[in-house]
Structures are given as C-alpha cells and as structure tokens.
Amino acid sequence: MSSAFAFPATLARALGRSRLGARPLVARSIRAVRVSSRPALRAARAAADAVVDKAAHNDEQSALRDEMVSGCTECTMPFESERASALANAALADHTRLSAIAKDASERDDGVSKMALRALVVGAETGKLSKALLEHGATHVLVLDHSRLMLDRAAEQFDGSETPGVVGNETGARFARADVCDVPAYQGPFDVVVFNDSLRHQADPAEALRRAVLLTRPGARVVVSERVSEESTEDEETFFDVDALVEDLPLQSIFDDPRRGKTMRMTRDISDSSERNEKESFTERLPTRTSETYLDHRCGSVTHTYEVPPLFKLRDEIVLNAPVVEGFGRGSRLMGVPTANLDPAVLEDELSRMRRGVYFGYARLPEDAKHGKWCKCVVNVGARPTFADGEGVTVEVHALRDFGRDFYGENMEVVVLGFLRPEMRFDGLSALVARIMADIGLARGALDERACRERVDETVGFQASDE
Ligand code: ADP
Ligand code: RBF
Ligand code: MG
C-alpha cells in the first residue's frame, strides 16, 4: 500500500490546476512586457511569472519521472545500495545531533531519548536512501518527489509497519508529492537535507537550496549528490557548480582538508564495498578524483556535504559605523519596519566579510545624547531580490526602539553579533514583512542571552537602553 500524500496547495500547483498554472504561455509573455513603474506591482507580476514557469517545469519533471518508473519492474540504478549507505554516512556520520540524542538517552531512566533527528530527502529514487537514513539514526524522514509513481516505488522499500502515514510526529519515513520550496516550516526543523540526484532538476536550484537551508536547524547537514554519467567529462561535472550556488548561504564544508574542499567524491566500487565498514569508508580520506573503475561501473556521484553553522553567533563581531542615507522610499516605515540605510561606500571592508543575509546585533546613534545607548537591531545586507530595484548591495538597519524622529545624515553605529538567515525572494511585501517580524523575534531571543550582552560590553562598553 502506498503511503504517499501531498500538501494540498502544493499538489494543486504541481498538477497545474491552479488558476495561474493553467494560463497559456503566450499570456505570460504579454504580461511580462507590460512593465509597471510601481515596484509592488512589478514584484507581483514577476512572482506570478515564476509560479507559471515553475508549475510547467514541475509538470514536466513529474511526467518524465513517472514514465521512467512505469517502464521498469525492478531497480536497475547501478550501485544504488552502496550509494544510499554512502550518502547516509555523509549525512549522519558524527552528526552533532546523534551525540546529543545518545547523551539524552543515557540520562533517562528508560534509556530512550525523546529527541528527534529529522531528515528531508529531495528526490525519492528507489527509497533506499530513506531506509539507510533511518538505519543510521534518523528518526523522521520526509521524502519529496514530483513523481507519484517514484514515491510509490520508494515507499515499497518499507512494509506497512514502518510507514506511519501522514502524521508528522510519528517516526519513520513519509512520502510527499511536493516541491522543496513549498515545505511548510512546521515539517521541520530538519537536521539533515539530502538532494538525492535532484538539485539540477529543480526549477530554480539556488532557490531550492535557500529554502531547504531555511528549514534546517543550526548544526544541520546539507548533502547535495549528483550522479555523474559514464561519459562524463570534467567540463560536464563542473557545469553545475554547487559550491557557487551555496556561496551566499550560511553553509560551510564539513571537511577541513582543503584538497577535498567542499566536495567529497565517492570512489567506492562494488568489488570492495561489501567488506568495508561503512563508517570507516566515510571517514577515511578518499582521493579527490573519481576513479576509472567507479565510472566504468556507472555508480559515480559527486557529493557535496555542508554544515549549517552550529551556532548563529558570529565568531568575531563586526562593527559598522556609517552615515544614514536615503533608501528606496518604499514605505517600509509605513509597514512598521523603517530601515536606516547605511552608506555602503564607507563599509567596503566590513561588507567583504559579510555574506548577504539577515543579521542581529546592537545599534546606536553615538552623537545623540538621548539615543546614544545601544539598542537591539536587525540588519539586512543584501540585494533585495523581492524587488527588482537594482543590483547594489544595501545595508539596512531596523532598530528595535522608537526614536521619535528621522536621523538621515547622522552616523549610526552597529555591532553585528550573529547571522539569522540568507536573503530570499518573497512573493510580495507583506510576506517579507511577516518574515521580518519572525526575524525580530529570533533576534530578541538571541540578544537577551547574557553572553550576547556581555560581548557587546567587552567590545564597545555596553550601555543598553531600557526600552
Ligand atoms: P528609506 O527608504 O529612506 O530608508 P525608510 O522607510 O526605510 O526610508 O525609513 C528609514 C528612516 O526612518 C531612517 O533613515 C531613519 O531616519 C528613520 N527611523 C526612525 N525610526 C527608525 C528605526 N527604529 N529604525 C530605523 N530607522 C528609523
Ligand atoms: N529583502 C528581500 O528581498 N529579501 C529578504 O529576505 C529581506 N530580508 C530582510 C530582513 C530584514 C530584517 C530587513 C530589515 C530587511 C530585509 N529585506 C529583505 C530588505 C527589504 O526589501 C527592504 O528593507 C525594503 O525593501 C526597503 O528598502
Ligand atoms: Mg530604509
């Protein structure tokens, strides 16, 4: 019996039943040339176009993969089992969450931890990977695919007792026909995300990675594995540059060997895989170049393994000191989030050390007697992808206090202490503002920690405002 299910809204979209999804392409191109001077409208149109393109893309993927599965009776994917356990190792070997669970279990009377280790698998393939993840210590595995047949096939790896159906807090594997960008936050947070030979098939791979990272917990692993064909050339392998895609994301390679960089190639061939201890084969330093044998057997994959930094806190705080300049006059003040735009021209050094994204810290107007004390703030360093308003990077500070006046032209000082999330494209201003409110909540929580306050104290002499 299949246990595949779908998030209702996503399913409608994936099936192309949504109003937008049903529109003919010609209508879209007409709309696309009617450029509005109003940014909100322009953004809404761009978002609508993206939905249409994505629905069409996902339909195509779904049909392709359905056809692939219906044409075969058993798995002919070369080295599928070996690949599954090697990927599970990349995802879970020495994972900090596993040790936390073990510690928790040892402190309990019944020796059983109630902590979860959630994995998200994008790309069902044969389902062997989900099984391997559960065997390696994951408690919940959510498997996504665009193809219902692929999901049904993957679910066949499990007998009824292991597939819990749709209730998210039950352990085991669940299968959803959905797009990774549509997974609601309550399904996570995830400790592991694996793109199982699926990243290059996403409508927008960069966006898919960004969304996946937003669903993770600090300390999570993100594994991207792409199969390499037998005829693959070095050119083809580097064509899809995963490292470039993650450049602006809060991800770091989990390996310290610079020769391996962010890429781990699996070079095991079938002849020795059965004798080897899996953990050993993961931790040993494998050669960087795919072996001939490996490619001959067509089990090759290029695998990139990253970690979401275990703490949001920056190791070294960054001090920004710059005059407040005019912004886009977008009315963010009216939305309750005025942002003091700091002059990026005087912050080149600092910006070279900061990824684009949302940060938290303390801000003050040092020359103002009344508002000279530090107050909490959130900071966005980015290109505002929600709005097509230019390429330049802006530094925008929303201070969590009421100044009762504008302060254009004055100097603002900011101590940036931590990173919250990468910048994203939202479907309009209200979705963005809703997320900024969540950012503010996270920032308040992090900044209330004593360690944070003490750190500002050490760096700049802390005088927090009472507000
Ligand atoms: P702009 O597009 O010109 O940046 P905003 O709508 O973002 O305009 O408003 C930002 C301005 O609002 C800041 O430059 C500052 O003078 C003022 N302001 C008032 N209170 C705050 C606050 N709490 N945080 C940031 N800016 C504030
Ligand atoms: N703009 C985006 O396009 N994407 C974002 O993810 C984003 N995050 C932000 C987070 C915070 C805390 C703040 C203050 C701003 C953010 N912005 C983001 C910038 C926003 O688009 C900008 O402030 C308004 O457009 C006004 O210029
Ligand atoms: Mg502003």
Atom of ligand 1 nearest to the CA of 407: 16
The best mutation among 380, 427, 442 to test binding of ligand 2, ranked by most ligand atoms within 8 Å of the C-beta, falls on 380
The best mutation among 335, 380, 400, 403 to test binding of ligand 1, ranked by most ligand atoms within 8 Å of the C-beta, falls on 403
Nearest ligand, CA of residue 333? 1
Distance CA 320, CA 351 (A): 9
Best CA proximity match to 121, nearest among 82, 153, 84, 158: 84
Give the tens place of pLDDT for each residue, 219-271: 889 998 888 765 555 555 555 678 778 876 767 666 533 333 333 333 333 33
Give the tens place of pLDDT for each residue, 47-90: 677 777 889 999 998 998 888 888 776 656 657 788 888 889 88
> Is the Cβ atom of 377 under 6 angstroms away from ligand 1?
no
Distance from Cα 333 to the centre of ligand 3, integer Å: 8
Partners of residue 320 on adjacent β-strands: 414
The best mutation among 42, 339, 414 to test binding of ligand 2, ranked by most ligand atoms within 8 Å of the C-beta, falls on 339
Distance from Cα 322 to the centre of ligand 3, integer Å: 14
At residue 458, does pLDDT exceed 60? yes
- Prediction pTM value: 0.60
**Residue minimizing CA distance to atom 9 of ligand 1:** 338
At residue 208, does pLDDT exceed 80? yes
Query: Which has more confidence, 259 or 116?
Result: 116
Asked whether the beta carbons of 223 and 303 are under 8 A apart, the reply is yes
Tell me the average pLDDT of the chain: 75
Query: Which has more confidence, 141 or 274?
Result: 141
**Counting beta carbons within 10 angstroms of the beta carbon of residue 326, is it exposed (0 to 12), middle (13 to 18) or buried (19 or more)?**
exposed
Distance CA 126, CA 68 (A): 12
pLDDT at site 73: 66
- Confidence at 363, pLDDT banded by 50, 70, 90: very high
Partners of residue 353 on adjacent β-strands: none
Best CA proximity match to 89, nearest among 282, 220, 299: 282
**Residue minimizing CA distance to atom 19 of ligand 1:** 406
> Is the Cβ atom of 358 under 6 angstroms away from ligand 2?
yes
pLDDT at site 203: 92
> Is the Cβ atom of 408 under 6 angstroms away from ligand 1?
yes
Q: Among all residues, which ones are annotated catalytic?
A: 396
- Which runs of E-coded beta strand occur in 44-185? 118-122, 140-145, 172-177
Measure Cα distances from 91 to 65, 119, 121, 200, 301 in Å.
Answer: 25, 9, 11, 19, 15
> Is the Cβ atom of 339 under 6 angstroms away from ligand 1?
yes
Mean pLDDT, residues 418-424 taken together: 80
**Residue minimizing CA distance to atom 15 of ligand 2:** 380
Distance between start and end Cα atoms, the chain: 58
Give the tens place of pLDDT for each residue, 301-324: 778 888 876 555 676 789 999 999
Share of the chain above pLDDT 90, in %: 31
Distance from Cα 339 to the centre of ligand 2, integer Å: 9
Nearest ligand, CA of residue 407? 1
Which stretch of DSSP H or E encloses residue 461? none
Distance from Cα 319 to the centre of ligand 3, integer Å: 19
Distance from Cα 355 to the centre of ligand 1, integer Å: 23
Q: What is the CA radius of gyration of the chain?
A: 24
